[in-house]
Amino acid sequence: MMFYKDYELRKYHSDFKEQIIVLEKILWGDNSKNNEAYFTWKYEKSPYSKVLIGVVALYREKVVGFAGFPVSKWFIGNRKNYFFALDAVDVCVHKNHRRKGLHTAMYNYIYKEYESSKFKLMIGLSGNTISLAGGKKMGWDFFIKQRYLRKYRYWDFFRKNYLKKSGNFPFKEAKILGKFTNIEVTLKVNPVAMSNLREKISSTHDGIYLFKDLNFYKWRFLNPKGKYIFYFDWEGDELKSYMVVRCYEKMGAGKIVDYAYLDILYLKKILQLMIQQKYFCKLSVLDHNLDEEIFKMFHGFGFRRRNVILQYLLKKMKIKYERYYCLNPLRDKKDIDFWKVGQLDVRKSANWKITEISSDAV
């Protein structure tokens, strides 16, 4: 416990849960039941933390601020060489208590509390333009700028999002689910098959990867705020590749958040089927450190970096829109060695091999 101005900062305790869920409506929306399920999944069911790591700000014994830090696990090349990080997410301050330094104070509290812990660093994988300013003041290193490859079916996207006369234009989900030769399209995750496939894939020693094991797959796609479609390419009983798409039904959009393959040809078959089904008006995938064969595959299917629609909207609304991933080591930054994991400098974006499932935003 510590005091900051008129506020008391405390470690999270379950007594604060109900107030936090009410506060987080600012970020999560008004569905209290769904918000509670999301909180439980994200913080209480995480496979890598036995206790919820977070800090609350109290004003006259009422929760007016919260910062949560789920734990993520990362590895380099050999899966035995791993480390843990605190994911900086869900920072929320009541509107009557903003611009008083609570954001920074809560981060500093966690920093001091865990600077001698097993955690290597704090990492933010859902940063936005609002959190950038505060992050820079606290010394965060903004090491990756978010960039995407996108493929539109422009007329359907325009009709879905901008033509009121078009009606609901619903997803015809039933038409894409099922078995198509060797490819299974389903709403059900298969943790065992996905983790078995992941273990067969050799990783290079020149990258930092999110650790995805059976426990991860069992937990990750139970997100009550997410809807996912799973594409599995089977050869008999053996999974050869998979691709996971997060659905944004109101926009008719899909975001490819995770994939794995033994041979790129298997993944190409999945992507070809996905496009032929014409289910999504827009498809996107995080474009960071993509292997050359992956980039060529997406490019060959018409994915491009330029986003004409977003550029038009930002220009019209006169908004500068940039999103970054950021990190902060839980040690003295003057110690150069602590920026390293093995021989890799974590500040260099080229050292990170991530898909978007690494971010709590999906």
Burial class (CB in 10 A: 0-12, 13-18, 19+), 290: middle
- Predicted confidence (pLDDT) per residue in 167-207, tens digit: 544 555 557 899 999 999 999 999 999 999 998 887 666 78
Please list the residues that pair with 325 across neighbouring strands: 144
CA distances from 279 to 149, 257, 272, 275 (A): 18, 17, 12, 8
Q: Is the distance from CB of 230 to CB of 186 less than 8 angstroms?
A: yes
Dist. CA 328–CA 308, nearest whole Å: 34
Report how far apart the first and last C-alpha atoms of the chain are (Å, whole number).
32
Residues whose CB falls within 8 Å of the CB of residue 193, separated by 6 or more in sequence, listed in order:
232, 239, 242
In DSSP notation, 77-113 reads: SEEEEEEEEEE-EEEEE-GGG-SSSHHHHHHHHHHHH
CATH number of the domain at 148-187+227-315, please? 3.40.630
pTM listed for this prediction: 0.89
What pLDDT, on a 0 to 100 scale, did the predictor assign at position 193?
A: 97
Strand 62-68 relative to strand 54-59, pairing: antiparallel
**Token digits of residue 241:** 């590749």
CATH number of the domain at 2-146+325-350+353-357, please? 3.40.630.30
Strand 89-93 relative to strand 62-68, pairing: antiparallel
Q: Is the distance from CB of 65 to CB of 102 less than 8 angstroms?
A: yes
Mean local confidence (pLDDT), 343-358: 87
**Token digits of residue 242:** 């998979």
Of 34-48, 51-65, 139-153, the one with minimum mean pLDDT is: 139-153
Neighbours of 187 (CB within 10 A): 12
Dist. CA 67–CA 50, nearest whole Å: 18
Dist. CA 138–CA 66, nearest whole Å: 17
Question: What 3-state DSSP class applies to 346?
Answer: coil
Question: What 3-state DSSP class applies to 289?
Answer: coil
Residue 44: is its pLDDT beyond 70?
Answer: yes
What pLDDT, on a 0 to 100 scale, did the predictor assign at position 153?
A: 80
Residue 59: pLDDT band with limits 50, 70, 90: very high
Closest by alpha carbon to 227, among 184, 173, 276?
173
Per the model's pLDDT, the better-predicted residue between 172 and 22 turns out to be: 22
Closest by alpha carbon to 354, among 125, 137, 79, 155?
125
Counted residue by residue, the chain has a size of: 362
**Most confident of the ranges 58-72, 318-332, 338-352:** 58-72
In terms of DSSP H, where are the helices of 115-211? 129-137, 154-162, 191-200
Residue 302: is its pLDDT beyond 60?
Answer: yes
- Residue ranges of the domains in the chain? 2-146+325-350+353-357, 148-187+227-315
| Residue with tokens 């009983």, as numbered in its chain | 237
Dist. CA 43–CA 13, nearest whole Å: 12
